Every structure is written in C-alpha cells, then in structure tokens.
Structure 1
Amino acid sequence: MSLVQIEQIFPSLTWRIRHEVMYPELPFDSVKLPDDFDGLHFGLYADHKLTGVVSLFQKGDVYQFRKLAILADVQKSGYGSQLMNYILDFCKIQKASKLWCNARVNAKEFYYKFGFHETEKTFFKDGYDFVVMERDLQL
C-alpha cells in the first residue's frame, strides 16, 4: 500500500501529467488552460511521487473540475477515486451547491460512482466525445 498525500499544487505542476495522460498527441502547451492561474490545483502524491492531478474552478457556489488525470501505469489503483473524494469533500466544506465536469464519454461510468449524472449537453473536441456531468451537493 502506497503512502498517499493530496495537497494543493501550482498550476504548472499539473501540465506534465495532463499532457502525458490526456493529450500526448497534442503540443505540450495545449494542456495549459487560459484560466489555470485562477483555479485551485490538487496533486496526489503516491510515495512522494506526483501521480495524479485535478484542477478546480469556482463561479459563485458552483465548482467545475477539469483535467483529472492519473499516470497510466497506476490507473485502476484507486488514486482517481481518492482525488474525486478529496475534491467532493473540499467543495462541501466550501458550501458549493454543485460540482460539474466535461466528462469523456468513455469515462462516465467512473463519475456515476460518485453520484454524478449526465446532462443533455454533449460535444466533440480534440478527438473525444464529451458529456457534461454534474452532481448537486446541497441536500
């Protein structure tokens, strides 16, 4: 069992993993978001090695997470679930009303496990089909 720590990180620390995992076929700069420096970024360290990242952006009491990525050689190890649970808890502490994402269609089963549901909004970008998924956080 690895020692796992999740902490807030600088935006630039997310770029290598985003690129390697999500868009290795695109130029490195394509994984930099225009609003990266307005967001919060979290890194999952497994045995002190940055292994997963996720970015969180806030508009009022609604949060969007983007670019959830876990290094390929340790996917299916539960790290993505640990990051999801971390940002869900973080959003609840912040009194967020909703958390949403643009989910790759081939990953939507992962988000169902955390109570997300699909919306009617779908789109195609950079070679991938996406669906907007969301979860209400206020009961």
Structure 2
Amino acid sequence: MVQIEQIFPSLTWRIRHEAMYPELPFDSVKLPDDFEGIHFGLYLDHKLTGVVSLFHRDSIYQFRKLAVLPSAQKAGLGSQLMAYILDFCKIQKATKLWCNARVNAKEFYFKFGFHETDRTFFKDGYDFVIMEKEL
C-alpha cells in the first residue's frame, strides 16, 4: 500500500542521505531553505520510503531531493512521487516546474515531459543539468 502526504522537513533528511549522498556527512543533505519548502513523503506499507521537496517563487516551482530508499528503487515509487507533485503544482496553478537533474537520471524526467536546458553544472561528484516542464 502506497500513501503520499505532506511531511515535516526534517523527516526528509534520512531518506535523502541514504538514497542520494550516503558518502557525505548527514548535515550535507539539509537545505538552507528547507523550512520554507513543501515536503512530501511516500509511505510504503506505513514506512517512509521516498521524499521530495518543493519550493516556489510566484508560479514557478522547483522540486529538489527526489529520493527513494535504495532497497525500494526501481519499483515505480519515484514515478508516483513525480506524478503527485505534478498534480499538486497544477492545482497550485504553477506555470513551470524545474529541477537540477543528475545527468544519469535524465531519462526518468523525459518520461514526464521535462526537457533539458543548456545549463549544466558539477557538484558533489555529480554532473547536473537543469530540466524544466511548462505546466
């Protein structure tokens, strides 16, 4: 059973750390503006298994730190989180949704209609590209 609900920012940190940056210190997954964002948790059989965080300026939304525990990856849970935040953004009348995507995850975002921009960067050992979707 999968359930997605809004959660407190600090609940995202463990999942982010385990799924995205286990080699870095725990505090490295905390964002300076975490307490200004909207955070969602995906519960699989009542266990917090995936997270994503949304931030916005006016009608433009950015999602950050979409993460699913390694033991639950490749089961469609990230896709469920993505579909949820796309619906949420549409309800909020967002005009655009964007993210800093790891280059090796571009195909995942293409499935949801995101396109690459020409803006790229390197951080924490990973290559990133900014991807966006008009809503």
TM-score range, shorter chain: over 0.9
Q: Which residue pairs with 2:86 in the alignment?
A: 88
Q: Which residue pairs with 1:22 in the alignment?
A: 20
Q: Using the TM superposition, give the Cα deviation of residue 93 of structure 1 relative to its aligned residue in structure 2, in angstroms.
A: 0.3
Q: What is the CA–CA distance in structure 1 between the aligned matches of 2:49 and 2:24, rounded to whole Å?
A: 21
Alignment partner of 1:76 is 2:86: no
Alignment partner of 1:131 is 2:129: yes
Q: Using the TM superposition, give the Cα deviation of residue 69 of structure 1 relative to its aligned residue in structure 2, in angstroms.
A: 0.3
Q: Using the TM superposition, give the Cα deviation of residue 74 of structure 1 relative to its aligned residue in structure 2, in angstroms.
A: 1.1
The runs of 5 or more residues in structure 2 that have no matched partner are: none
Query: Aligned pairs, how many?
Result: 135
SS of the aligned residue for 1:24 comes to coil
Q: What is the CA–CA distance in structure 1 between the aligned matches of 2:67 and 2:11, rounded to whole Å?
A: 12
Q: TM-score, normalised by structure 1?
A: 0.97
Deviation string for 1:77-104 (max 9, x for gaps)? 0100000000000000000000000000
The runs of 5 or more residues in structure 1 that have no matched partner are: none
SS of the aligned residue for 1:26 comes to coil
Identity rate of aligned residues, in percent? 82
Q: Which residue pairs with 2:101 in the alignment?
A: 103
Q: Give structure 1 regions of 4+ aligned residues with deviation exceeding 6 angstroms.
A: none
Please provide the CA RMSD for this pair: 0.3
Q: TM-score, normalised by structure 2?
A: 0.99
SS of the aligned residue for 1:87 comes to helix
